[in-house]
Structure 1
Amino acid sequence: MMKACFALTLMAAACGSAWAQVPAEGVQMYGVVDVGVHRITGLKNGTSTQLASGIMDGSRLGFRGAEDLGGRYKAFFVLESRLEADNGTLSNRPASGTQLPDRLNTATLMGLPSALQPAVTAIATQLGGTVGVNLNSGFFDRQAFVGLITPVGAVLAGRQYTPAYEMAATLDTTNTQSSLAAGQLASLPAGFDIRVSNALAYRMELGGLTASAMYAFGETAGDSSANRLLGANVMYRTPDYSVGAAYNTRNNEKGEKSLTSAVFGGTLALGPGKASLLLASFKDDHPTGTSTIATALTTVNPALAGVAPLVQNAFNEGLKQDSRLYHVGYRFLSGASTIYVSYSKVDDRRPADADVASYGVAYTYAFSKRTDVNFVVSRYDNSKLSQAAPGGAGYLGGVTASAGTDSNSLALGVRHRF
C-alpha cells in the first residue's frame, strides 16, 4: 500500500522543515532559534563581523497540525514563518548589501561601451535592491500549505519547497546547513527555485521508493503558461545507500522556458558516517524579469530611450545560466559531536566563466536533543568573473569586493529547537 510521504526525509532533514513524522492530532507550535557570530573576508569594505540569524538552520516559528478523518484519511497543515533572531524582523540582506557582481554592474564587462555606464548603474541599482531574503516580509514566507492524506498518497496545496530543491538539500552533506551548503555557490542568480507559491503537489511512498510531483500556477491573467513551474523527484533509499533524481522547470513572465534545474546523486553509509555525492545542472536562456528593463530605464531617464534595448539585452545575457554544480562530502557522528567536511564547485559554461569552489569543515556539539553549539570554517575560491561570498543557512553570502576576489568565513553559533 502506498503511503503519504509529505513527512519524508526529503522534506524533513533536507529542508529543515522540522517534520520528522505525520503531525499529531491537534495543533502544535515548533521552531528553531539559531544565532551566531559570522566573520567574512574579501568584501568591498574589508572584513565583516556580524551577529547573524541562521548559521546552521534558518530561524523560524511554525504551526502544524492534523485531524484524523477516518478510513485512512487525514487532513493536515503547516504554517511556517521566517524569523531573524538577531533583530526580530522577517527579512535580511547579505553582508555585501545591494552590491551586484561586476559582470552585472560594469558596462564594458557586459559588452557595452563605457559611455553607457550610467544606464547600467541605474538598472544595477534597481536589481541590487532585490538581493536578499524575503524582502517583502511575507509572514509565512517559509511554508504555508494544507493537505490531505489518502490511501494512495498525499495532496498538498500552498507555498512549498520545490522538488529539485528538496532533492538537492537531501543529497547535500550538510542538508543546506551553514556556508558549506552546495547551493550557496549558485545563489546570484539563483540556480534553484527553493520555494514556490500557488503550488499543488502530490507525494507518495512505496517501500523504499518515494516520489513527488508539483505544478505551481503562474496566475497571470490571459497567459496560463507565464511564471508557472513544473517539478518532480524520485528517490530510492535503504539503510546502506540512497539514490535520487529531480527536475524543475519554470517559465518567465512571457511564458518562455526559463530556469531549469536538474539534480542527481546519492548517499552511502561508509565507516562511522555517510558519504554524499550531488550533481546538478542549471540552464536559463530566458531569464525572468528582464523584459521590463528597457521600460524601467526609460522611466528613470527618457533621454536613454534609444539605448534602453541595448542595456536590456546586455542584462538579459548576463543573467542567463549554463552551469554545473558538483558536491562531495562526508558526515560522521561521534557521541555528541557531528563533523561535516565537504567540497563544492560550480563550473560556469557562459562567456563569463565565473567558476567558484568552496570547501571547509563544520562541527556541532549537542548539549541535548534540542540545543547545540556549532563552529564552521569555509573558503570560497573565485576565478575570473566569479565573486561569491559565504552566507549561512538563513541568509545569502552576497558578493566579494571584485571579480576573482576570494573569501574566508568563520562562524560560531548556538542553535535551539523547540
Structure 2
Amino acid sequence: MKKTLITLAVLAAATGVAQAQSSVVIYGTVDAGFVSERGGVNGNVNKIDSGIASASRIGFKGTEDLGSGLSALFVLESGFGVDNGQQDVAGTLFNRQAYVGLSSKTAGTVTLGRQYTPWYNTLSKVADPFAAGYAGSAKNLFPANTTRTSNTVLYTSPNFNGFDADVAYSTANNGQESLVSSKIGRQMGASVGYANGPLNARLAYNTTSNETAISDAGSARNWLAAANYDFAVAKAYVAYGVNKGLNSSTRNNGNVNAFNYISAKTSDDSTTALIGATVPVGPAGTVMASVIHVNDKSGLNADANQFAVGYSYALSKRTSTYASYAKISNKNNAGYTVGNNSNAGTGDKAFNVGVRHSF
C-alpha cells in the first residue's frame, strides 16, 4: 500500500512538472462601436463597425520548454467581425497570424509562417500614438502594403542592453517563382531598435518585388524611422517614412475612387511624417493626438494631411471605452480616406465611439 502511494505521488509530481513546462493559451479581442463617416461619394455613412481600436480576433498560442534555454512556440490567430459574426477574410481560417518556431534565450527566435513584418511592427508599436487603431490610425496615410506576409521566415535577436533586431524573408509560394523567377512575390524586411527607460526608437526597412511572370517593374522600398519618449506627463511620438518605387505608397482603401473625382495615381516617390502624443488623464483615461503629412514627390503633388484626436477610458484591465475623430485634407485629387484598425473608411472625416474587451 505504501509503495502504491509513493508511486502515485511521484507520477503526480511528474505530471505537474510536465504541465509547467508546456502551456497553451486561448486569447482574443472583441471590439465594436458606432462609426459616422462624412465627405465620401456615397454621402454620410453611419454604421456599427467591428475592430475599430483593435481588430476583433481569437487566437491560440503555446510554448513548450525543451530544456537548456530552448523552447518551441506557435501562434494561430483568426479575425472576425463582431457586427456580423463572419470571418473578416472569407475562405480563410487563421488569416491574421499562423506560425511555429523555436526560441533560444541566448541565440534568438526563428518562426515560420504568416506574420507581421518588421516595418509594420515599427509603425504600430513605436510610431503611432493610436497604435494603428481608431479614426486616427496611421494606416490611413502610411503605406498599406507592408502589414503581414505569408510564407515568411522571421529571425528575432535577443535583447542586448536594450538593443534588438529582426530580419524577415518571404515568398509568394504560388508555384510561379520556381518556374519563372524566385523574385515573384518576394518580400524582405528588417529592423533594429533600442528601448531603455523612457526611450523607444526603431529603424525599419521593407522591400517588395514587383516582378510578375511577364514583366519586372523593380521593387517597392519603404524605410521608416520612429521613436517615442515618455515624459511621464505625456508621451511624445515622431516618425518619418521614405517610400520609393512602384507600389511603395499603396493606399489603405486600395485607391478606390472614394470621392467625387478620379483619385490621383499612387506615388512612386513620397515621404510620410508623423508627430503625436498620448497624455494620461486621471487614473484610467488617455488622450491621443497626431498630425500626419504625406509629401508626394512624383510630380502629381497628391499630398495629404491628417489631424486626429481620441480618448480611451479603461473600465478595467481588460475592458475600455473610446471615442476618436480624424479629418484628412486631400490635395490635387489625393484619395486617402479615414478608416480605423480594420476598415478603410468611405470619406475624409470620421467619428467613432465604442468598447473593447480583451481576454
Pick the TM interval, shorter chain: 0.7 to 0.9
Match of 1:207 in 2: 161
Secondary structure in 1 aligned to 2:72? Answer: strand
Equivalent residues of 1:226, 1:256 under 8 A apart: no
Once the 2 structures are TM-superposed, how far is the Cα of residue 90 of structure 1 from its aligned partner?
Answer: 1.8
Once the 2 structures are TM-superposed, how far is the Cα of residue 408 of structure 1 from its aligned partner?
Answer: 2.0
Secondary structure in 2 aligned to 1:387? Answer: coil
Equivalent residues of 1:355, 1:386 under 8 A apart: yes
Equivalent residues of 1:353, 1:385 under 8 A apart: no
Equivalent residues of 1:264, 1:280 under 8 A apart: yes
Match of 1:152 in 2: 107
CA shift digits 1:201-251 (9 cap, x unpaired): 100121201110011023222211111111100000111212210100011
CA RMSD across the alignment: 2.2
Secondary structure in 1 aligned to 2:122? Answer: helix
Q: Which of 245, 249, 263 is 2:224 aligned to?
A: 263
Amino acid at match of 2:172: G
Which protein has the bigger helix share? 1
Equivalent residues of 2:210, 2:246 under 8 A apart: no
Match of 2:276 in 1: 329
Match of 2:3 in 1: none
Question: Within 5 A, what are the aligned runs for 1:181-192?
Answer: 181-186=137-142, 190=144, 192=145
Match of 2:356 in 1: 415
Q: Greater shift after overlay, 33-42 or 221-230?
A: 221-230
Aligned residue pairs total 317
Q: Which of 62, 66, 69 is 1:72 aligned to?
A: 69
Once the 2 structures are TM-superposed, how far is the Cα of residue 266 of structure 1 from its aligned partner?
Answer: 1.1
Secondary structure in 2 aligned to 1:318? Answer: coil
Match of 1:370 in 2: 318
Amino acid at match of 2:234: G
Is 1:252 aligned with 2:249? no
**In the aligned structure 2, how far is the partner of 1:336 from the partner of 1:185?**
29
Change (3 A) 1:209 1:394: same
Is 1:193 aligned with 2:146? yes
Secondary structure in 1 aligned to 2:113? Answer: strand
**In the aligned structure 1, how far is the partner of 2:296 from the partner of 2:80?**
33
CA shift digits 1:115-166 (9 cap, x unpaired): xxxxxxxxxxxxxxxxxxx4x5422111000010123100000000011111
**In the aligned structure 1, how far is the partner of 2:289 from the partner of 2:265?**
33
Match of 1:163 in 2: 118
TM-score when normalising by structure 1: 0.72
CA shift digits 1:34-53 (9 cap, x unpaired): 00000010011211001000
Question: Within 5 A, what are the aligned runs for 1:105-144?
Answer: 134=89, 136-144=90-98
Which protein has the bigger strand share? 2
Q: Which of 188, 192, 213 is 1:234 aligned to?
A: 192
The alignment-based identity, stated in percent, is 31
Change (3 A) 1:24 1:411: farther
Equivalent residues of 2:163, 2:193 under 8 A apart: yes
Amino acid at match of 2:275: V
**In the aligned structure 2, how far is the partner of 1:221 from the partner of 1:89?**
35
Once the 2 structures are TM-superposed, how far is the Cα of residue 182 of structure 1 from its aligned partner?
Answer: 1.6
Structure 1: give runs of 5+ residues left out of the alignment. 1-22, 92-133, 289-316, 401-406
Change (3 A) 1:367 1:351: same
Amino acid at match of 2:133: Q
Secondary structure in 1 aligned to 2:178? Answer: coil
Equivalent residues of 2:28, 2:358 under 8 A apart: yes
Equivalent residues of 2:221, 2:248 under 8 A apart: no
Is 1:272 aligned with 2:229? no
Equivalent residues of 1:235, 1:244 under 8 A apart: yes
Match of 2:15 in 1: none
**In the aligned structure 2, how far is the partner of 1:59 from the partner of 1:137?**
17
Change (3 A) 1:183 1:257: same
Equivalent residues of 2:135, 2:351 under 8 A apart: no
Is 1:85 aligned with 2:118? no
Secondary structure in 1 aligned to 2:37? Answer: strand
Secondary structure in 1 aligned to 2:141? Answer: helix
Secondary structure in 2 aligned to 1:206? Answer: coil
Match of 2:46 in 1: 49
**In the aligned structure 1, how far is the partner of 2:217 from the partner of 2:171?**
15
Once the 2 structures are TM-superposed, how far is the Cα of residue 271 of structure 1 from its aligned partner?
Answer: 4.3
Match of 2:178 in 1: 221
**In the aligned structure 1, how far is the partner of 2:226 from the partner of 2:248?**
27
CA shift digits 1:250-301 (9 cap, x unpaired): 112435432211000211122412101010112223789xxxxxxxxxxxxx
CA shift digits 1:13-37 (9 cap, x unpaired): xxxxxxxxxx983211100000000
**In the aligned structure 1, how far is the partner of 2:217 from the partner of 2:43?**
41
**In the aligned structure 1, how far is the partner of 2:21 from the partner of 2:269?**
44
Amino acid at match of 2:343: Y
**In the aligned structure 2, how far is the partner of 1:359 from the partner of 1:193?**
23
**In the aligned structure 1, how far is the partner of 2:128 from the partner of 2:41?**
30
Change (3 A) 1:412 1:208: same
